Structure 1
Amino acid sequence: MKINEELFDYFKQVGTIKHYQKNEIIYMQDDCADELCLVLKGRVRVYHIKKNGDEINYDVLDKGRIFGESSLYENAYRPTTVSAINDVEIITCHLQDLYPYLSSSLDLTISLLKMLNDNCNHLTQLLKWAQTYNRYEKVAAFLYDLSKDNNKEKNLLFGRIPYTHQEIADSLAISRVTVTKVLNQFKEEGLIDIQYGHIQVLERQKLYNHYLAKLD
């Protein structure tokens, strides 16, 4: 779910535009959650840092996506860390400053509610993958999901997924060695091609039929 550009003006009127460079931290988990953020340009990574320093990716967000929704709750703290993947421009604003516009714009209110619903569904999906899928099903579901639609902002085009083995491992909370073994198996089956810095999904429907159809 993305915020329609026609609604950006509401955020611009009450918020502050900020810029971040590649790999710069936007906020850390456990920070006080006092601002909502809208991506205007670039991509950000949402992830959790475990006590041992390992990172678990939750999502990659691009233009029109909102993050920091924990600020919708009083006295809340950030459950995740967010950093810039490339040069990023965002708007940060306090929810109370948006209240007058929420009461006057049904589109803005519906967009925020849909965003919360989509985020909940995404986290539910990640939990399902983690708890019920084996290693082959996890990686297959990840590739199948990301290759669903073309997305120029995320550089997801024609089944090309710009993730390294390590990034897939971080996203699925499994080891890089496991991911590499699974990807090599998929390649042997002719389902994907492995190239430097990205995976090319060649047979998306077959990937689903072989590994995911039985799970529905």
Structure 2
Amino acid sequence: MNKVLNLNNRDRNILVRSPLMADLTPSSLVKMLASASVLSFESRDILFRESDPADCFYSVLSGYVRLYRLNKDGREADIRVCGAGDTFGECLLTTGDSYDYNAQAAENITIARFNLQKVRQLAEQEHDIACAIIHCLSNDLRRTMACIANDRLQTAPQRVAQYLLENCQSAMGAASIRLPFQKSLLAGKLGLAPEALSRAFSSLRHSGVTVRGRMIQIEDVSALRQI
């Protein structure tokens, strides 16, 4: 069950630095913050379901939100995993009156909820808010195109290797990474079935990648780049 919270300093700072708000003028920022309400959800709570009437979009303040679709047989396909600072549902600011996917709390989360109609009105009044929305939609499109390209051009081990490299602090030598969420969520994020992710990690052992729970040990980052 969700709970309404007050906007604390930490959550405010995340919103202020998010792509949606980072470039707003002080007056527009105040208006956008005033239009937000803060909610908490427990792990596995459903925020909304595909085809539900849409009246809000969201920004993640803590935790992770899983966006996914279901087919008629109940099979799930993950679309995106959203973390702190990520916004989802904002495409409905320009078109659509129902959600195109399901949203579920992957763990205990805190989110900011924005009323679509109120933000539409603000965008009509404030040029920088309209530009920020366009910027977010553009980023979504570019991310989607990159995801499609990776799905078609990369093998499962290559997708996993790329994720590890993007989240690795070292450019060479040994490194370790702690996954921020369960491997089942990583599988969905990379467009893989859980068993395909396990096989990918197994194949990466030859490149010096060892998995222990959420901890990933990399013997040689340079070698991993050659996958």
TM over 0.5: yes
Q: 1:136 aligns with which of 148, 154, 157?
A: 157
Question: Partner of 1:127 in structure 2?
Answer: 148
- Contact map agreement 2:81 2:189 (CA 8 A) in 1: no
- Contact map agreement 2:178 2:214 (CA 8 A) in 1: no
Question: Partner of 1:214 in structure 2?
Answer: none
CA change 1:176–1:92 in 2 (3 A) is: closer
1:170 aligns with 2:188: yes
CA change 1:158–1:60 in 2 (3 A) is: farther
Question: Partner of 1:37 in structure 2?
Answer: 58
1:52 aligns with 2:70: no
CA change 1:88–1:8 in 2 (3 A) is: farther
Question: Partner of 1:160 in structure 2?
Answer: 178
1:48-104 CA deviation, whole Å, 9 max, x = no partner?
Answer: 223333323232223332111232234433222111223323232233312454356
Question: Partner of 1:96 in structure 2?
Answer: 117
Query: Which AA in structure 2 matches 1:88?
Result: I
1:84-141 CA deviation, whole Å, 9 max, x = no partner?
Answer: 2233232322333124543565543333222211211221122112222223223223
- Contact map agreement 1:21 1:88 (CA 8 A) in 2: yes
Cα distance in 2 for partners of 1:74, 1:64 equals: 23
Cα distance in 2 for partners of 1:109, 1:166 equals: 36
Question: Partner of 2:6 in structure 1?
Answer: none
Q: TM-score, normalising length from structure 1?
A: 0.75
Unmatched tracts of structure 1, length 5 or more: 151-156, 212-216
Question: Partner of 2:5 in structure 1?
Answer: none
Query: Which AA in structure 2 matches 1:143?
Result: L
Question: Partner of 1:199 in structure 2?
Answer: 216
Question: Partner of 1:114 in structure 2?
Answer: 135
SS at match of 2:148: helix
1:2 aligns with 2:19: yes
- Contact map agreement 2:42 2:105 (CA 8 A) in 1: yes
- Contact map agreement 1:58 1:171 (CA 8 A) in 2: yes
- The Cα shift of 1:202 comes to 4.8
Question: Partner of 1:83 in structure 2?
Answer: 104
Alignment of 1:9-28 (within 5 A): 9-28=30-49
Query: Which AA in structure 1 matches 2:187?
Result: A
- Contact map agreement 2:176 2:216 (CA 8 A) in 1: no
Cα distance in 2 for partners of 1:130, 1:75 equals: 27
Cα distance in 2 for partners of 1:41, 1:55 equals: 24
Q: How many correspondences in the alignment?
A: 202
Question: Partner of 2:197 in structure 1?
Answer: 179
Query: Which AA in structure 2 matches 1:173?
Result: G
